[in-house]
Structure 1
Amino acid sequence: MTHPALAGQPVYLDYNASTPVDPEVLEAALPYLTTHFGNPSSGHSYARAPRAALDQSRDQVAGLLGTTPGEIVFTGGGSEADTLAIRGVALGSRGAEAGRRRIVTLATEHPAVLRSCDSLRADGFTVTLLPVNGHGRVDPDDLQAAVRAEPTALVSIAYGNSETGTLQPIAELAAIAHTDGALFHTDAAQAAGKVAIDVDALQVDLLTMVGHKMYAPKGVGALYVRSGTPLHPVVHGGGQERGLRAGTENVAFIAALGRAAELAHRELPGSAVRLAALRDLLHAELEAALPGRVLLNGHPTERLPGTLNVSIDGVSGRALLAAVPEIAASTGSACHEGVDAPSPVLLAMGLPAERALAALRLSLGRWSTDQEIRQAARLIAEAAATSPGPWEKSAPQKREKPQGGLR
């Protein structure tokens, strides 16, 4: 069944940017915008239902992540959760107070992580950006060398990249960080609800999840904080969320996040299998229509089930999408969309600038259908076959070859 917001609209292939709010999720939120308006911290009867909603949502989020409710901290979104994890560790008793003044992350991280790390330079921290290979994966040996070189407070590496979908070997990386006394944070904004997550199996100390990436509203997120992990709060006030995130809780959106987590948990692993099949169908249809011109960006197997990042040889990604208004998609992260420059993620993977400029990020979700995928592939192929791109105006014999192992 089609989501009401998508009916009669362009084919939506931008689920990594934001998802429609699931009708069941909206239903869960509405009572706390109307009848149950009380402050959950109050001592009278109007607080009971909101307080119960917070407890239920904490249970639901914990169930998705394989943890306990007491390890879930609600935030105003993913960027805030990343900031709390990174600055919270660095400025707390496991960071600056313990003489650990280094943060390690990847060059391909989301701006919320990279800028949070950068903000710590003014506090006397050093930030190490590890390289990735042509598939976007980090070499565990590089991480081991980095954490052994200098006392490290935190390693922050995303589970799934928002542009390419490449998955990192989180459990292996977390074990390396712990060997040398560092804590480990993963930004799972794109992975939560799309792949199975068990925080104990992953060995992470902190994990970010975001509502609007999993069919809840924008403006709500959560941070998993392993019991005993010391954090310095970045939002001060009345002591909500165990003193880690002050401010009266947004009960309606938290209730929505909880319901979204419950739905995602119920649908896995079937949803992952379905999306991977649709992703592969889209890739196959594009390759069949444009033989030899479709270049995959990212890992061929270790990637999110609903993410396909490809460059079509000879065509600018932005120009191509502009020529196909029947499709809503992106050339990269929504945080960089509209900037006529190569994706920093793809450049960090070693791809040439012209290939990065040709990239399309096609992301699928709960309401994507086989029919839509075939239609989108046809429209993209038709536009690519007729639209002259900047590559065709340059000297093609001077193009750099793709990185080894990419196709």
Structure 2
Amino acid sequence: MAESVERLQQRVEELERELAQERSRRALGGGDGGGGRARIEKMSPEVVDSNPYSRLMALKRMGIVSDYELLLFDYDKVELANMNRLFFQPHQAGLSKVQAAEHTLRNINPDVLFEVHNYNITTVENFEHFMNRISNGGLEEGKPVDLVLSCVDNFEARMTINTACNELGQTWMESGVSENAVSGHIQLIIPGESACFACAPPLVVAANIDEKTLKREGVCAASLPTTMGVVAGILVQNVLKFLLNFGTVSFYLGYNAMQDFFPTMSMKPNPQCDDRNCRKQQEEYKKKVAALPTQEVVQEEEEIIHDDNEWGIELVSEVSEEELKNSSGPIPDLPEGITVAYTVPQKQEDSVPEVTVEDSGESLEDLMAKMKNM
């Protein structure tokens, strides 16, 4: 009985591959019967409604590349519960997620090259193939991919991607949405330069807890398409800035939907990281930085403008030269162009002589009476 089920599963997979190949063949031949379009041999900058790339001219000015390739890895199947993702469609239920994704994306844009792998990257037998495709699956045969994107929902898969990228020195971006569905984050990881996923792992990883023991049967983490859409948009925007070299590429950017809060930061790698390849990449990065030529920073002194300036403002002392000469007390030693604001007038030598009044012997009352009679 078990063998019969296994043979049926193999047959289903064969039929799925044949269906994908047939759709691919029709797309290359000018249509796939599903509302798709023919491939465009050369991207045109012409701004017309019939040009699918006419709205991407802003990216073209930034140096958009003409060729694209997507390598997709996943082992899960599409379920009706996945319809909230706004990507899968009900008729795709039962298909592997990578095949369903390829069908949808190929219908939208047959100019992109797709390569799908329906397997679990965390298993020993699949890990080597996964690493091989990262290091040799670029647009040029035998060249590594430009960037790895992690959109997985478990720590085991993240640690697997982290291990592979640390060993290969491959830059990647990690993303995730919290189980309460109202927050998420993206993170750029450059081996040796920034913290890897193992440098500051979540508690579930640091404590070596089996994730399967944390999940209750029949209970699934909440999943809001709005939160996932925001995080996905931030991730893709960061990807464009990284690949096209414009703007500021965030090393870590969070999103809290409850408060509309977007925290950002960057983390240095942990010298005591448990991943030995991370420690190795750190040493390689230090050597690379040390080999860079040192640049001397020459700070030019800014010219100080006084009397003649662009605003027509004159700086005038409140103390005249004559007043300064006649001032009393020591004059402080001040820098050129600075004078004292106030001075103490010097005591005049040619003062009015004092008048001496002789004592007449009269009382104050007698003097007052004389003044009245005058």
Q: TM-score, normalised by structure 1?
A: 0.23
Query: What TM-score do you get using the length of structure 2 for normalisation?
Result: 0.25
Q: Name the structure, 1 or 2, with higher relative contact order (CA <8 Å, separation 6+).
A: 1
Greater Rg by CA: 2
